[in-house]
Chains A and B, each alone.
Chain A
Amino acid sequence: MPDVHVTIDGTEIAVPSGSTVLEAARIAGIEVDTLCDHPAIEPIGACRICLVEVEKQRALQPACTFPVSDGMVVHTRSEKVVGARKFVLQLLFSERNHFCMFCQMSGSCELQNLAYKYELDHWQFNRPMPTYAVDASREYFVMDHNRCILCRRCIRVCDELVGNGTLGLKNRGADAVIIADLDVPFGESSCISCGTCLQVCPTGALMDRASAYMGASDQVERVKSRCMGCPVGCGTELVVRDGQVIRVEGDWDAEPNKGLLCVVGRFDPQHEVRERVRKPLVRQGDAWSIADGEAAYGLVAEKVAAAGDSVATVASGFVTLEEAQALGSAVRGRKFYMYDLPQTDRTATMADLDEADLFIVTEMDLSLDFQVAGMAVKRGVRKRGARLILVGEGENGLADWASMRVGRADLAKVIAMAKSAERPVVVSGPAGLAAAREIVSAVPAASLASFAPGGNGRGLCDAGFGQTYAGDAAKVTVVVAGETSQVEPGLLDALKKQEFVVVVASYREPWDQVADVILPMPTAFEKSGTTVCADGQAGQVVAAMSTRVPTLEATIGMVAEAIR
């Protein structure tokens, strides 16, 4: 795009043609206040906070949507502009309940910040303050319409990014209200509780139950890390206050998720109810005793030493690459991955998903599992008109999105369609992997996104844990579980048959059913390391809180010490 020359507040700059005034101002280093605008979504020019004066235009224009043209002269701080912004703010404050001191967003609220900046020290207009019922029907977060400014960020992220289209508006004008589906309680709607709306809400209208009133933006630190919940490997921002992670947000700058998270990554850790393992536990018959450190590590050392090479180590996806390497060099015997192995040929990246014109999803429900990948599929179907074929029977949350559903026997039909597509992507879980492989091998243009439970499967494969655990007999079985809660009953049954089972885990359940000794392990919030996601990209897990629970490396060290 050729450059055009514009003058903003007296500064002449060259910006790419097609830029908006807001983008041009940012290039010029001039800050223009916004409210309904958000960098991750398309601007709509609704709130009128970003109004600027464009010479030769009768009315003020929204910087977020107004395109620049050559020779344009823009004023972003003129008296008229400031007056308009104050006017809009005054109107917003007159609309609903904006008594900041009672709101958990006070101190972090974009509306409040603007009010301070534009020196709103009184209410100018009448404020009838209509009352709206608070919708607390969702498990993780609450919608308080009384604090809503109708900026529609929530509706837009749900539509543009999540692809779910759950949120919308009812009524017109001053009576407009955000609704879910056809105005059902949020908890009964098609909402998948990904929380993207919560993350973009500029006011206190959407409130996180876990972190409400726990800290304003200037009282918290933010640590960029990575989710280990599944192989999508989403970048996160851990919001920390007083050494505690109070909330998880999606990292807008991170690939592959670009700010999105699912319920597993965003809410599950904050709503964990299992009992934490902080000290070693040793089984005594049906009871457990908190063991003195030395005794527990000594017992494990004794068993391991006696087992010789008959040791099986089983790692979950919550084990980092560094932890796996430490295990690899310290523990003898065979190494297993807890779940199905990830496949690594012709891997589709999230970018491939975002360009696909045909999705073939085999034997999995992307509305429940690997939701962030599911969002890419929904986006593709809704926004780009991509087609979706679901292979396999049974209930599927994406059934309404699908243009076709076929049984496993009809793969020939699917292959024929895939051959006529330009950029087909096959998405599969472990169950559908055989069918997925068959399609991909028949269609040269197709790529494959294969997801298996567990976050760091590829990293563990690379570190030598390249076999799926199938109950292999050993004298000592070491399960390095981390915080995983994805445990198949089959795994527990297999472990029950083993002679001696040591589990290194953050939480007691469900391992207390099978273990002889449970050793503590930090959660992903408490440790740093590397995780490799499904498309082969490495990501850094960064500790956001300190813990007295020993690292896995320290645990290995203590066991080794006890052997000597």
Chain B
Amino acid sequence: MTEPIYRANVLVCAGTGCASSGSRSTMAALEAEVQRRGLQNEVRVVETGCRGFCAMGPIVIVYPEGIFYCQVKPEDVEELVEETLVKGRVVSRLVYEVPDTQQAVPLYEQIPFYSKQQRITLRNCGVIDPESIDEYIARGGYEALGKVLQEMTPSQVIDEVKASGLRGRGGAGFLTGLKWQFTAQAAGDIKYVVCNADEGDPGAFMDRSILEGDPHSVIEGMMICGYSVGAHEGYIYCRAEYPLAIKRLHLAIEKAHEYGLMGKDIFGSGFDFELIVKEGAGAFVCGEETALIASVEGRRGEPRPRPPFPANQGLWDRPTNVNNVKSYANVAQIIRNGAEWFSKIGTPKSPGTAIFALTGKVQNTGLIEVPMGITLREIIYDIGGGVPDGKQFKAVQTGGPLGGCLPASGLDLQVDFDSLRAAGAVMGSGGMIVVDEDTCMVEFCKYFLTFATAESCGKCVPCRVGGRRMLELLTRISEGQGTMADIEMIEEIARGMDSDSLCALGQLTPGPVLSALRYFRDEFEAHVLEGRCPAKQCVALTSFYIDPAACKGCGICKRACPVQVIEGDRRMIHIINQDGCIKCGTCQEVCPFDSVIKLSGETIEVPTELIPVGSFGK
């Protein structure tokens, strides 16, 4: 049966963000509506991978026009089909509006969120049906594998990848081609390629989006790598929390077998390759390559000292090449378009693009892909749309929980491996969290340190114990019990962890604290010296007061207080009893006159007994 020729394709994003905002029901409603109107031979509804603009999900794009609809609910579907697919009109209430200007932007490529992006690694994500190998092939998929197997020697492949300047997208930025060369040169007849898909940073979902949205790109990259290093077996280590990614990987591997693109004698070249998906149990440390290998082997996922590096002694002690999902996903395009094409994208030392999961206090949260060398300001303001609610930008954390933060003065910094590292932040695997003036940097550090210490494997002493001690010190500071010596001790532990820990997890755990101390030291000192949390976030250091001049004596706060510590009466100035206050902020939320104020490190004069409204200070 031949497929009908469709006049329109409706792409429904089913990435992580959109799926959580309900794209599956939107998808079902669309399919039903298309059926109901008998359009199933004219209009095709396609479930795609992540489109990136998660804040606006569920996202529906109608091609060939490229109309971009945001936050499409099942109840919008009837109108969408009626207007756009039957009458050819744009449903203006569903199109994207630029927040500041309220200008409607109906077309995908004109939306500011996308206009500064350059989608290379994610080029198929949100565009093709990830479960269709034909769509991948239609976009040039497996061309590179064919070229490699039929026209290139393994060393030519390695030279091409080296010439492209591709650096490992797992975060450390080691030259991918060089890594391949080490594995290729290592002694041994059995070798392995391993894909590190153990994405564990809170809030990061780049690898997940690629595996869910374009699994074949990773598979093709791994096979090219396998050919060049002399491996015939590959493992994808993907965390079990990514069931859709795992399902699609299995499907993709099955399809590749069916099409003769995997298995024995691929393209008649004599090259054999098999791929195995290994599900991880979700330990962050298994993203470290030696821990990952231990986990694949069925042992407790813990790193071991390097050397020996996996290139010489990896999986089952055989030479093994381990790369990140994004690194492999770039390979096929480098082969297809040439190393020169790739090396011209981005900066000379960090060619290509970077993918970030942009989250926190920005208008447009989501998954973005930008050329290396773009500034943080462009990412946060032009793509991200800046900080919402008129708040002030405070800091941006790159590199996830092991990364570092940069203040406003770092906004014009170029995003690439070396510039970020020099500034005390790291590229990491791509988390980017923006915080505004309401975030306390001590609390911010505590958050990441809590994560890192919970994920420490416990093998080496500096990470296992040092992280815990540092967290205790930070907690003390945030509770107003800290001393200046505590700050010094944090720095001492940080130095020790950095230089003495076994793996990158321990070495980089102090990163957020060190960078925060570098750029926001005054904030730490305010906690210690003045008992003041400048962002008014640390509970122990903040208090709520009812402004006696503004209180109208309405009693709403008194009724709402969950611990009943507000004293007051009709037309009397209300008073919060500080001793019992749990600082939940409910009074501030419910007060219709904005008379509840939150203070840190200072107090205001309030009446000592109930007095009539308007009489205070008279």
Contact = CB atoms under 8 A, between A and B. Distances in A.
Interface of A: 44-48, 51, 59-62, 65-67, 80, 84, 87-88, 91-92, 94-95, 124-126, 128, 149-150, 152, 168-169, 171-176
B303 to A, nearest CB: 9
5 contacts: A48-B460, A59-B501, A67-B308, A95-B464, A173-B457
Contacts of B489: 124-125
B460 A67 contact: no
Contact of B462 (A61, A65, A87, A149): A87
Contacts of A169: 300, 458
A91 B472 contact: no
Most chain B C-beta atoms within 10 Å of own C-beta, residue among A45, A61, A128: A45
A47 B489 CA distance: 21
Interface in B488-535: 489, 492-493, 496, 498-502, 507
B307 interface: yes
Contact of B454 (A51, A61, A128, A173): A173
Contacts of A152: 459
B283 A172 contact: yes
B469 A172 contact: no
Contacts of A67: 307-308
A180 to B, nearest CB: 15
B498 to A, nearest CB: 7
B456 A60 contact: no
Contacts of A45: 304-305, 460, 502
Contacts of A95: 464-465
Given A94-B465, A169-B300, A173-B464, A60 B500 contact: yes
B458 A176 contact: yes
Contact of B465 (A51, A168, A174): A174
A43 to B, nearest CB: 9
Nearest to A173: B456
B600 interface: no
A126 B470 CA distance: 10
Interface in B462-497: 462-469, 472-473, 489, 492-493, 496
Contacts of B457: 172-173, 176
Contacts of B458: 150, 169, 171-176
B408 interface: no
Contact of A174 (B468, B493, B496, B499): B468
B499 A60 contact: yes
Contacts of B436: none
Nearest to A91: B465
B403 to A, nearest CB: 18
B549 interface: no
In order of increasing CB-CB distance, the 4 nearest A-B pairs are A176-B458, A173-B456, A45-B305, A91-B465
Contact of B500 (A51, A128, A168, A172): A51
B209 interface: no
A64 to B, nearest CB: 9
Contacts of B453: 173-174
Q: Mostly helix, strand, loop or mixed at chain B's interface? A: helix
B500 A59 contact: yes
Contacts of B307: 66-67
B461 interface: yes
A126 B472 contact: yes
Contacts of B459: 44, 46, 152
B353 to A, nearest CB: 28
A65 B304 CA distance: 9
Contacts of A125: 469, 489, 493
Nearest to B496: A87
Contacts of B241: none
Most B C-beta atoms less than 10 A away, residue of A95, A171, A172, A176 = A172
A529 B231 CA distance: 60
Interface of B: 283, 285, 300, 304-305, 307-308, 453-469, 472-473, 489, 492-493, 496, 498-502, 507
A62 B499 CA distance: 11
A215 to B, nearest CB: 30
Contact of B460 (A47, A124, A126, A168): A47
A44 to B, nearest CB: 7
Given A48-B460, A65-B305, 8 more contacts: A48-B502, A62-B502, A66-B307, A87-B492, A92-B465, A94-B465, A173-B453, A174-B456
B305 A62 contact: yes
A181 to B, nearest CB: 14
Nearest to B300: A169
B307 to A, nearest CB: 6
B305 A87 contact: no
Nearest to A87: B496
A59 B464 contact: no
Contacts of B469: 91, 94, 125-126
B462 A172 contact: no
A6 B463 CA distance: 30
Contacts of B502: 45-46, 48, 62
Contacts of A84: 496, 499-500
Contacts of B498: 59
A48 B283 CA distance: 23
B497 to A, nearest CB: 9
A552 to B, nearest CB: 53
A176 B455 CA distance: 11
A92 B468 CA distance: 12
A167 B238 CA distance: 28
A172 B305 contact: no
A254 to B, nearest CB: 30
Contacts of A59: 498-501, 507
Contacts of B456: 172-174
A111 to B, nearest CB: 11
B455 A173 contact: yes
Most-contacted residue by chain A among B308, B466, B498 (CB, 10 A): B466
A390 B454 CA distance: 45
Contacts of B285: 172
Contacts of A87: 462, 466, 492, 496, 500
Nearest to A62: B305
A200 to B, nearest CB: 18
A125 B461 CA distance: 14
A48 B462 contact: yes
Nearest to A149: B461
Nearest to A89: B461
A46 B464 CA distance: 10
Nearest to B457: A172
Contacts of A171: 458
Nearest to B462: A48
A223 B451 CA distance: 51
Contacts of B305: 44-45, 61-62, 65-66
A384 B310 CA distance: 21
A87 B460 CA distance: 13
A91 B461 contact: yes
Contacts of A48: 460-462, 500-502
Given A46-B502, A48-B462, A92-B461, A173 B467 contact: yes
Nearest to A86: B496
Most buried by A among B283, B300, B459, B489: B459
Nearest to A45: B305
B373 to A, nearest CB: 26
Contacts of B500: 48, 51, 59-60, 84, 87-88
Given A44-B304, A66-B307, A172-B458, A91 B466 contact: yes
Nearest to B466: A91
B459 to A, nearest CB: 5
Nearest to B502: A45
A172 B460 contact: no
Nearest to A83: B496
A86 to B, nearest CB: 9
A88 B464 contact: no
A124 B473 CA distance: 13
A95 B502 CA distance: 18
B239 to A, nearest CB: 15
A125 B500 CA distance: 17
